Amino acid sequence: MLPLWAFAQAIYRSPGFAEAALRLQDEHDADVCVLIWLIWHLRQGNGVDAATLGPILAAIQPWRTGVIEPLRAARRAMKPLLEATPLRTQVQALELEAEQRHLARLDTITLSGPPCDNLAVYATLLDTTFPPDDVAILLAATA
């Protein structure tokens, strides 16, 4: 199995993965890094239950809301105004670095529960249901 960062880079380039993950982010408040981390564990045969995942999400939330989301908002706000400028490129690079650090933190957390539908557990904690088509795209990228 690839290390988490290499796995993330590989699947993010898979056809349809980025679009499906970003839909879940924008429409269901999913954290793309968490999606990738959960799929990575799923592919290793490791499951998670809500009682385990809930505190993990709470622990990583400050980085997501305090660093990643403001960088994303700044990058998106610049897009119609500054499509291809060095400033927007720098903000995008900072956002990617913040996500890499987010994944590095998640990589220190080992899941060891019995295999289960990790994405459904995550969706339940978000009080939503992920569209089956998007989940299928995410999982197909790692098959």
Which helix H or strand E contains 5, and what residues bound it? helix 4-12
| Amino acid letter, 7 | F
Encode 29-57: b = buried (16+ Cβ within 10 Å), e = exposed: ebbbbbbbbbbbbbbeebbbeeeebeebe
The pLDDT of 20-25, averaged and rounded, is 97
Q: What is the pTM of this model?
A: 0.94
Give pLDDT tens digits for 103-130.
Answer: 999 999 999 999 999 999 999 999 999 9
The pLDDT of 62-88, averaged and rounded, is 89
The pLDDT of 7-25, averaged and rounded, is 96
The pLDDT of 5-22, averaged and rounded, is 95
The pLDDT of 9-31, averaged and rounded, is 96
Identify the pLDDT of residue 142. 82
Identify the pLDDT of residue 46. 95
Q: Return the structure tokens found at 108.
A: 């220190």
Identify the pLDDT of residue 79. 82
Instruction: Work out the mean pLDDT of the chain and round it to a whole number.
Output: 94
DSSP helix/strand/coil, 80: coil
Percent of the chain with pLDDT over 90: 87
Identify the pLDDT of residue 81. 80
Domains held by the chain: number:
1
Interior angle at CA 46, CA 12 and CA 136, nearest 5: 40
Q: How far apart are the first and last CA of the chain?
A: 12
DSSP helix/strand/coil, 113: strand
Domain that residue 98 falls in: 4-140
Residue 143: pLDDT band (50, 70, 90) is: confident
